[in-house]
Amino acid sequence: MESLEELYTIQDSFSNDFLWGVAFSAKQTEGSFDRGITVADLQDYNPKDATKVKGDLSETEILNRLENPSNYYFPKEKGIDFYHRYKEDLELIAKLGVKCLRFSISWARIFPNDDEIPSQIGLDFYDSILQILNDKGITPIITLYHDDMPVRLALEYNGFLSKDINESFIRYAQLILTRYKDKVNHWIIFNQINLTRVGLSSLGIVKDKVTDLEAAKWQAVHNKMVTAAKIVSLGREISKDFRFGSMLADFIVNPETCEPKDIVFATEKNQMTMFLYADVQFFGEYPGYALRYFKENNICIQSDKNELKVLKENTMDFLAISYYNSNVVSAKENSMKIGDSKINPYLEANPWGWTINPRGLYDSFIRYWDRYHKPLMIAENGFGAIETKENDMIDDQYRIQYLNDHLYAIKKAIRQGVNVFAYCLWSPFDIVSSGTSEMKKRYGLIFVDQDDFGKGSGNRFPKKSYYWYQNVIQTNGDSLESFEDDFK
């Protein structure tokens, strides 16, 4: 007889082929040069109202922004000019020693004007990026849609609500999958499929062009899930090496108190805001709790037997999670809407009220693994802070602490048997905030000399965290430190 320890492999830390990486999106970095305008481009920066998530615009508001651009400042139109500086930026990323890079391809760069003729200049841009990554031995993880609906498709068709636009997206995906089949294996079709708070960017729905926004959102989410399954089906024909990921924004909530009502409310809210999406994408069918919710809330999603078959036959391979913070809920005070929650009083927060909870990440990963038993990756994790560059290097010890603790939480999850294959830090450089369009919400390991209005040299300066992460990668995570004695 042998001991279980001898019979099984017990993972003590990150595997030798662990993918250490960084992540960013097209809409926050590239700028709108040489491509079509997206709904993200129209999210203006307004210092008097910078705390709210922008984006659920009416038709009039969209047209007003398109027709009178000088009345606004649109930071995502410039991004951080990655479009022109990508060679220098990729060099800095490579020097970190990363093994992977998660980035998104912009649909509006590939099909700027219509849905038939792809832009050669757009394809050349991504050809060049992928060639550089290939030469440097960095594994690409590509997101096909990172909340940047071409504005013409939102205005004319209400985006993913339209079956035609879902077909257009499939054609775009097929083109990209085929073109890069020898360079890319990991695909995340949709960024954060559960984060439908801003229906315009995630779904392409113009709010006043539908009678019931809530019902329209659910229909568009359903369409996206069928579209994703069709892309998986096509992808399996294109390459047997392809791996497809379902991606969720971690919005797992805990009950504010141990009152049974709060506990059950948190459970049901996690089902409808988190697990539903991954349940469909991994188990291939709608769970009973969702069908009950739709029935009781008069949400009538249109589908057919063929779509259900497509969902059943084309499930995902891995689960990608973006994790930043965690909150609590009260049955009395909160609704089922994603993001409607309360601050956990035990946690500290950044200036935007995003709490810091590495234990929450550990807890979430245990739940995902228990439920799906699919390989997990962190698609995004990072710390937004206000920073200014004087003469010296930015000493961002708070970011180092945040990253250390979250990475340590992942290491602990691995030690507990969770299969985690990649970690993509958000983000290698300071970029335009998705939610507020500010530049001052800086996540970067590299400072970008650019302010909220796009002023500055645009030059890049590594912060202390850049060298810290470089060392973490070099030591394959051995340099990470436990942050509390009871968390080993």
Q: Which residues sit at the interface with ligand BG6, rule CB under 6 A?
A: 25, 28, 191-192, 249, 322, 380, 384, 433-436, 441
CB nearer ligand BG6, residue 30 or residue 380: 380
The DSSP line for 115-172 is SSS--HHHHHHHHHHHHHHHHHTPEEEEEEESS--BHHHHHHH-GGGSHHHHHHHHHH
CB nearer ligand BG6, residue 314 or residue 381: 381
CB of 304 to ligand BG6, least distance (A): 32
Provide φ and ψ at 354, rounded to 5°.
Answer: -85, 115
CA 417 vs CA 50, 95, 139, 369, 413: distances in Å: 42, 31, 25, 9, 7
Is 377:422 a contact under the CB 8 Å cutoff?
A: yes
CB of 438 to ligand BG6, least distance (A): 8
CA 99 vs CA 18, 22, 96, 126: distances in Å: 8, 9, 9, 19
Of 14, 2, 1, nearest to 414 by C-alpha is 14
CB nearer ligand BG6, residue 310 or residue 319: 319
CB nearer ligand BG6, residue 353 or residue 456: 353
Q: Which residue has the tokens 């491509």?
A: 35
CB of 442 to ligand BG6, least distance (A): 10
Distance CA 188, CA 281 (A): 12
Provide φ and ψ at 332, rounded to 5°.
Answer: -75, -40
CB of 161 to ligand BG6, least distance (A): 21
CB of 250 to ligand BG6, least distance (A): 10
Q: Which two tokens stand for residue 97?
A: 């020693």
Q: Which residue has the tokens 């832009």?
A: 119
CB nearer ligand BG6, residue 322 or residue 450: 322
CB nearer ligand BG6, residue 172 or residue 443: 443
CB of 171 to ligand BG6, least distance (A): 24
CB nearer ligand BG6, residue 196 or residue 322: 322
Of 396, 389, 382, nearest to 458 by C-alpha is 389
Of 325, 320, 322, 197, nearest to 254 by C-alpha is 325
CB of 301 to ligand BG6, least distance (A): 25
CB nearer ligand BG6, residue 201 or residue 314: 201
CB of 212 to ligand BG6, least distance (A): 25
Q: Which residue is nearest to ligand BG6 (CB)?
A: 435
CA 391 vs CA 394, 421, 454, 463: distances in Å: 9, 38, 20, 12
